Amino acid sequence: MNSGVNAQSANPCVLFLWEQGNALEWKLFMEDLVGNIDFRVFPDVGDRAEVDYIMTWMPPLGEIEKYPNAKAIFSIGAGVSHILRDPHVPRDIPIVRLTDDALSLDMSLYALHWTLHFHRGFDQYLRQKQSKDWKRHPYPANEDRKVGVLGLGEIGGKVVEMLRGVHFDVGGWSRSKKNIEGVSCFVGEEGLAQLLRRSEILISVLPPTPETANLLNETRLRLMPKGAFLINMGRGEAVVDGDLVKLLDEEHLRGAVLDVFREEPLPATSPYWGHPSVVVTPHAAAPTNVKYGAKRIAENIIKMEAGCPPHPVYNASLGY
Ligand code: NDP
Ligand code: OXD
């Protein structure tokens, strides 16, 4: 196996800190990509002072602060909230997010899949099967269906591109103003209200920050047209769960697909499990692909070994 990243002469010590991950598969890719790497798998860490880099998903609380010479923490995923839930994680070294085209493509396909599901009324056919009801439902042409995307970054940018590619009428919302051909772009509170008012299908790909927490509350969700749908694949904190359930029960919203939750795994007591209008997927919109994920992390290690900064780095002042 040789995946095309140039090997270096250094012998960086990399800790794999993901108890549920397939360490052997990651090790094979990382060794191939970085060359003479000292790859260690938690809890078999040896001397913690020797560790240069930590790659992790859902690290045990209190573990990351024990590596005095770590130069960077690599998330084995796009988000870093699983790392930052530990208040003792060092903030003086880069926390590096994982972005790659394969992940963005999988996220876009997830968004497209569920957009089509709602657009074409497949949710109704699933219900009708129970009563053996043979009844077709009309649906508008794609260009007459308004879809809104919250978050136009690495992933949201690809989501709107894919939706535009099949001619949906796409709008998007971000912190900084975007100019994307064929997409109505909004910013700010008033821009959000405008986007919500036009979104028959709303897709959230927002990161969790103090500003995005509880964004989708009753007042804002009510701005969406009656019978609208929500797809949340960003983070669960953006949605006020009780408000969403209320609007679904009132049938102001017709359905929701939720991939991310405030608490994961989703507790058995959550009303989402039994709700007829909710589809739950277990944070499965785009699991990190080892081949591509290892390549991105390896490239960043090689860059850092050569004295260059890694990319993309979590920005603490923005919160994402
Ligand atoms: P980026 O940082 O590239 O993009 C984030 C987007 O959110 C940007 O467009 C940013 O605006 C926007 N944003 C942030 N804060 C605000 C705000 N207060 N108001 C309006 N817009 C805001 O992240 P990615 O696209 O790579 O990933 C997004 C999230 O997707 C991740 O943080 C993660 O939570 C989630 N994710 C979920 C996965 C899953 O399997 N369910 C898989 C991968 C990621 P601006 O462009 O102006 O900076
Ligand atoms: C995430 C991911 O950040 O799965 O949610 O990559």
CA of 199 to the centre of ligand 2 (A): 25
- Confirm if 229 and 201 have CB atoms less than 8 A apart: yes
pLDDT score of 302 more than 70: yes
What are the pLDDT digits (tens) for 81-119? 999 999 999 999 999 999 999 999 999 999 999 999 999
CB 207 near ligand 2, within 6 Å: no
- Say yes or no: CB of residue 208 within 6 Å of ligand 2: no
Q: What is the mean pLDDT of the chain?
A: 96
Whether residue 75 contacts residue 97, with contact meaning beta carbons closer than 8 Å, is answered with yes
Residue 45 confidence class, pLDDT cut points 50, 70, 90: very high
| Nearest ligand (C-alpha, residue 195) | 1
Q: What is the 8-class DSSP label of residue 311? A: S
In the predicted model, is pLDDT for residue 6 greater than 60?
A: no
pLDDT value of position 5: 45
* Residue of 314, 319, 317, 259 lying closest to 96 (CA atoms): 314
pTM of the model: 0.95
pLDDT surpasses 80 at 309: yes
**Residue range 170-184: mean pLDDT, rounded:** 98
Residue 1 has pLDDT above 60, yes or no: no
Specify whether domain 101-280 bears CATH 3.90.226.10: no
Could you give the CA distance from residue 230 to residue 132 in angstroms, rounded to a whole number?
A: 27
pLDDT at 9: 43
How large a percentage of the chain has pLDDT more than 90? 96
Instruction: Determine the atom of ligand 2 nearest the C-alpha atom of 77.
Output: 6
Question: How high is the pLDDT of residue 222?
Answer: 98
CATH fold match for the domains 13-98+288-305 and 101-280 = yes
How confident is residue 4, by pLDDT bands cut at 50, 70 and 90? very low
To test the pocket of ligand 2, the residue of 18, 57, 283 to mutate (highest count of ligand atoms within 8 Å of its CB) is: 283
pLDDT digit string (tens) for 221-275?
A: 999 999 999 999 999 999 999 999 999 999 999 999 999 999 999 999 999 999 9
Q: Domain 13-98+288-305 belongs to what topology?
A: Rossmann fold (3.40.50)
Let me know: does 292 contact 103? Beta carbons within 8 Å: yes
**Is 122's pLDDT higher than 90?**
yes
Catalytic residue annotation? 235, 283
DSSP H or E run through 219: helix 218-222
pLDDT of residue 10: 66
How much is the pLDDT for 7?
Answer: 41
In the chain, domain spans = 13-98+288-305, 101-280
Kindly report the number of other CB atoms within 10 A of residue 62's CB atom: 11
